[in-house]
Amino acid sequence: MRTPSLPLEGLKWGMAALMVFDHVAFIFFPDTLLRIPGRLVWPMFAALMARQLSQGYPPERYVKRLLPFALLAQPFYALAFGFPLLFPLNVLFTLLS
């Protein structure tokens, strides 16, 4: 198993930063164009995941890595966006499905 290259890791961290920025912008500036860069993150994460899986990355490793974060994030997601605790689920659960 290869370790990810530095540019790929940098891309992932950059996308994570844009995602955080998008969430902050949603809370403080919900109707602005500041959210556009953050809206690109979901398709990019999904494309990277599809690429890894198509190259033979074991799906169960994704589940083991994403599930704890999905469970941990759910109460904060529900609280931040005013949803009931268990539904709708955060986007990490979508990646797991």
Does position 29 have pLDDT exceeding 80, yes or no?
A: yes
Q: How many CB atoms lie within 10 A of CB 71?
A: 12
Does position 64 have pLDDT exceeding 90, yes or no?
A: yes
pLDDT in tens, 70-97: 999 999 889 988 888 888 998 889 888 8
* Cβ contact 77:90 at 8 Å: yes
pLDDT value at position 4?
60
User: pTM higher than 0.75, yes or no?
Assistant: no
Does position 11 have pLDDT exceeding 60, yes or no?
A: yes
- The C-alpha atoms of residue 95 and residue 97 are separated, in whole angstroms, by 6
Residue ranges of domains in the chain: 1-40, 58-97
